[in-house]
Amino acid sequence: MKLYTFQVAPNPTKVRLYLAEKVAGGAVIDIPQVSVNLPKGEQRKPEHLARNPLGRLPVLELNDGSCLTESLTIIEYLEECYPHPAMIGRSPLERARVREVERIAELGVLLPIGRIIHATNSPIGLPPNPEVAAHFRKILPEGLRLLDTRLSDGRPFVAGDCPTIADCTLAAALQFARFGKVEIDPTFTHLLHWDARYRERAAAKSALTL
């Protein structure tokens, strides 16, 4: 297998963090990573469009040459191939809880941060759109507040007592916020403490650059 990715881009970062956490937890996974330079437009070259006609990352190329797209689908596939350590819970309810928190991190935090950055100072050259930026600046605190509240019970990780895909999504989102200079309201202290703690992990240090 081969993972097509790009540093700091949040959706590839989710998968890279997931792989780093699995390996740190003892899984033997060796998937070479190939960089596709998004600001240079390499995602629109024919060889990448053959992997993903939408011209996006990440893409997981399988051993038969076919490709899987969509970061969460790639993670779920890898989790089935390499179930230990469990990164999506260990029982039906735990798995539902992890998925619930991961969706909040994706839809309530990563997506608004991405929209704000692409509407203000897009690294891939999308045109500025102040209305879109204002809309997503307004809704970002809702997602942050939900996660801050979950973390206020003192849990070490965003979905409980061990690292899960929810941590990967949230850490990828907050790294992109640092890249795009989107401020996280300092009153979300539980979330910011989680971020500082999470970035000290070896897996985070190996997969995050900012």
Per the CB < 8 A criterion, the answer to whether 201 and 195 are in contact is no
In angstroms, what is the minimal distance from the CB of 33 to ligand GSH? 14
Cβ of residue 25: shortest distance to ligand GSH, in angstroms? 23
Nearer to ligand GSH, 126 or 202 (CB): 126
Complex with ligand GSH: residue 151 or 208, whichever CB lies closer: 208
Residues near ligand GSH (CB under 6 A) are 9-11, 38, 43, 55-58, 70-72, 124
**Judged by CB, which is closer to ligand GSH: 71, or 175?**
71
Q: How far is the CB of 43 from ligand GSH (least distance, A)?
A: 5
Q: HSE on the CB side for 130, CA within 13 Å? A: 0
Please report which residue ranges of 57-188 form alpha helices under DSSP H. 71-81, 92-105, 111-120, 130-151, 165-180
The answer to whether 118 and 164 are in contact (CB under 8 A) is: no
Separation of CA 188 from chain center: 20
Report the nearest approach of ligand GSH to the CB of residue 30 (Å).
22
Least distance from C-beta 42 to ligand GSH, angstroms?
Answer: 10
List all residues 6 or more positions away from 95 whose beta carbon is below 8 Å from its beta carbon. 88, 89
Which CB, 43 or 164, lies closer to ligand GSH?
A: 43
CB nearer ligand GSH, residue 162 or residue 175: 175
**Which residues have CB under 8 Å from 120's CB, separation 6+?**
128, 130, 133, 180
Residue 67, H or E segment: strand 67-69
Q: How many angstroms separate the CA atoms of 68 and 31, rounded? A: 14
Q: Which is nearer to ligand GSH, 57 or 207 (CB)?
A: 57
* Token pair listed for 126: 């999308």
